Structure 1
Amino acid sequence: MGFFLCAGRGLAGLLRRRLHNVPLEHKAFLYLLKNKARGDLEMKNWRRLGSLWLLALLLVLAACGNNNAVTPGTGNTADAAQPTQNAGTNAAADNSAAQETTYPYTVTDSTGKEFTFEAAPERIVSLAPSETETLFALGLDEQVAGVSDLDDYPEAVKDKPRMGGFQVNVEAIVAAQPDLILAASLIDEATVKNLTDMGYKVFQSNPKTINEVMEHIRTIGEITNHQAEAAEVVGKMKEEVQTVTDAVASLSEDQKKKVYIEFSPGWTVGKGEFMDEMITLAGGINVASDVKGWSEINEEQIIQANPDVILYAKSVVDENNKTLADIIKGRSGWDQITAVKENRIIALDDNLLSRTGPRVTQGLIEVAKAVHPDLIQP
């Protein structure tokens, strides 16, 4: 049996078969929706809705998705991003490689569906915050015809029409008349079929590594004929990765810190998710690395693992307004863990950790600062 217990049977197994490639930002959404202070829910409703949403969270987190990357399309495409390239030449190299997209342009999404674009989309609906952040980063704000209810970045997104959250508002999408709908893998299959049958292009993505995030950004740049902008964004991201990897390159195995991360109460993440990759790139050792995907924790085994650093999502609170730090510190026996004794329990911006968009490498830097503050300067 693995280091952590994974709820993967019964109803969880049924949901896993349906939502087998759930992206992290939507896993987090299932928990954060009920308690994050965005004005969506009153705290008084937490108890009433909490058990339902937490059950959904636990079932979805138990679903360890496969790695389905987007297949580069036919036309002018850039090379896949490599975080190990020299930081000083990344941006210049990417910009020099950028080209105009030749239409018709054909590309395959993460589900294996093939799409052909006769011209650059002029009206785009985003159903995931990470996709929205990518569109704005590529200078496509005028083309954004609608966003999800969860979108809160950048500031300009607040003026965009809302297309629903976990429940997609099909009527709003139809009213927006998009040439392209960008969605993550959590979107309901029936909704995708409905929109597809109406003639809309629903392009799904599920990047599982930082490199795949960069590749997806380039793909969006190619679809929209914003390759130069995509190259600039990816170049900056590679520089940020290089900043971290250079800073920790000289660490021996003994100098690497054992890290435990908790994104929702009682759950952690193992291999196969980019959050695990962040810990590794930041010179850490994920104490849950012997399991794949999201897993329910065994508290005694965490005590035995004795992490040096504990990371948690800062916006998560329970029905008693306790943060994850409060919950962690209050667990029996956890006061013996090095991270707790030395007060190395560090809150991180869950949006930077959970959204597979252009700010994911800023999340990496924040993880590195938390794990090795002596090596990564603010």
Structure 2
Amino acid sequence: MNRKIISLLVCVLLAVAVFAACAQPVPAASSQSAEASTSTTAAPSESVQPSESASVAAGVTVADMAGNEVAVEKADKIVSLTPAGTEIVCALGASKQLVGIDANSNYPEITQSIDIVGDFNGPDVEKVAAKEPDVVLAGIGLQQDAVDKLKELGITVVVVEATTFEDISKSIELVGEVVGAQDEAAQLAVGIDTVVKNAQDKKPAEEKTVYYAMSYGDMGNWTSGPGSFINTMIELAGGKCVTADQPAPWIEYSLEDLAAADPDIILMDGSMGSTEDLAKIAGYKDLTAVKNGNVYAIDADVFTRPGPRIGEAILEISEILNK
């Protein structure tokens, strides 16, 4: 099985596991949006450049994303088990404190020089422990077994992975507490809220229907449903998700339903192939979006990670909707 299919299956399984355990309503925008409207807007890409300005936290007790109270004595040595967690640490200027990351953590460039301690869905507990970390930043669902084993070894674990769009800012602020970069975290959160407000201010006059092709063809027609990051971002930018009435955040959508929905715009995971490839697939080639050339390849690493680059994703969706 090639790496692309494995990554797809991991994404689907993680999403199902996370939302089954933590499903909750997603609001139209985060609670900081009003404050953000008076803030200076920074380009989303600028907000994730590591400045190495973060100080090391000591003696803090945090409430993590799983509802646990965790005492963090220090954060000189950090292991991150999620790509979003890794990006947040780097965006807060604490990349030099990372001593281990998961194999899917590939951004920013500095991650290429950090040791890998297992796959996202299979952290190697022995490798993590060998790093003697002060704190491990983890996800939930597929990582629960590894988290339990690490705790049994006396290793401090903080669950930082957001499960809804609203929680992304909370996740960033949580990591800010851990690494002692609360001010930087607050700025990143406000930056995301500012992008959301700007996108809402620029909503197209005519509402357009949108479908996200997470996969297609032999890998199945997996897509996003209500409560997923993708659907939330599309709606915040002014689009209408054709899967809004589906029962779960991540689903396999039938070609019959897709034909009936006949979306105006298709966003596709660019790692799965080109827009030309999708246009040749039975069930897609006769869709209005394909015929009109309204199929857009997106970077799934940016669009599906609940981290600092989520503002870039919303901005891109807004630009597509306004074409």
1:272 equivalent among 224, 227, 251 = 227
1:131-162 Cα distance to aligned partner (Å, 9 max, x none): 00000000101211111111211111111111
Please give the per-residue CA displacement for 1:23-70, whole angstroms capped at 9, x wherever unaligned: xxxxxxxxxx9344xxxxxxxxxxxxx6x887776666655434379x
CA contact (8 A) 1:101 1:222 kept: no
Structure 1 residues 259 and 127 mapped into 2: Cα distance closer, same or farther (>3 Å)?
same
Mark the CA change 1:328 to 1:207 in structure 2 (over 3 Å): closer, same or farther. farther
SS in 2 for 1:219: helix
Picking from 144, 147, 157, the partner of 1:202 is 157
Distance 1:208 1:115, change over 3 A: same
Q: Is 1:286 matched with 2:223?
A: no
Deviates more, 1:101-110 or 1:191-200: 101-110
The answer to whether the Cα contact below 8 Å between 1:124 and 1:179 also exists between their aligned partners in 2 is yes
1:283 match: secondary structure = coil
Structure 1: runs of 5+ lacking an equivalent: 1-32, 37-49, 70-79, 93-99, 318-322, 374-378
Among candidates 82, 87, 110, match of residue 133 of structure 1: 87
Is 1:124 paired with 2:78? yes
CA distance in 1, matches of 2:65, 2:100: 22
Return the alpha-carbon distance in structure 1 between the equivalents of residues 14 and 91 of structure 2: 29
Determine what percentage of the aligned residue pairs are the same residue: 30
Give, as a single letter, the amino acid of the residue that structure 2 aligns with 1:145: V
2:108 to 154, 159, 169: 154
Residue identity in the other structure for 2:262: N
Distance in 2, matches of 1:211 and 1:101, equals 27
Superposed CA offset, 1:312-371 (max 9, x none): 010114xxxxx4752454214x44322011010110011111111100111111112222
Residue 224 of structure 2 corresponds to residue 256 of structure 1: no
Q: Highest Rg: 1 or 2?
A: 1
Residues 207-262 of structure 1 deviation map (CA, whole Å, 9 limit, x = unaligned): 233331011101111122211111222222222222211111xx45xx11000101
Check conservation: 2:162, 2:171, Cα contact below 8 A. yes
Distance of 1:274 and 1:86 partners within structure 2:
20
The CA distance in 1 between the partners of 2:116 and 2:214, in whole Å, is: 26
**Is 2:195 aligned against 1:240?**
yes
1:342 matched to 2:292? The reply is yes
**CA RMSD between the two structures:** 2.8
Q: Give the distance between the partners of 1:53 and 1:89, measured in 2 at CA.
A: 37
Map 1:46-195 onto structure 2 (within 5 A).
63=17, 64-67=19-22, 82-89=32-39, 104-118=59-73, 120-165=74-119, 166-195=121-150
Which among 343, 362, 373 is matched to residue 312 of structure 2?
362
Aligned-partner SS, 2:212 = strand
Contact (CA 8 Å) 1:138, 1:229: kept in 2 or not? yes
Partner residue of 2:301?
351
Answer whether contact 2:135 2:157 (CA < 8 A) is retained. yes
Whichever residue aligns with residue 344 of structure 1, its letter is N
Equivalent position amino acid for 1:277 in 2: T
Distance 2:145 2:314 in 1: 35
Contact 2:211 2:243 in 1 (8 A): yes
TM-score (norm 2): 0.83
Q: Where in structure 2 are there 5+ consecutive unaligned residues? A: 25-29, 43-54
In 2, Cα distance between the equivalents of 1:269 and 1:372? Answer: 21
Counterpart of 1:298 in structure 2: which amino acid? S
Confirm whether residue 305 of structure 1 aligns to residue 261 of structure 2.
yes
**Matching of residue 331 in structure 1 with residue 282 in structure 2:** yes
Q: 2:252 aligns with which of 296, 301, 304?
A: 296
- Does structure 2 conserve the Cα–Cα contact (< 8 Å) formed by 1:67 and 1:207? no
After TM superposition, give the deviation of residue 173 of structure 1 in Å: 1.0
Query: Normalising to structure 1: TM-score of the pair?
Result: 0.72
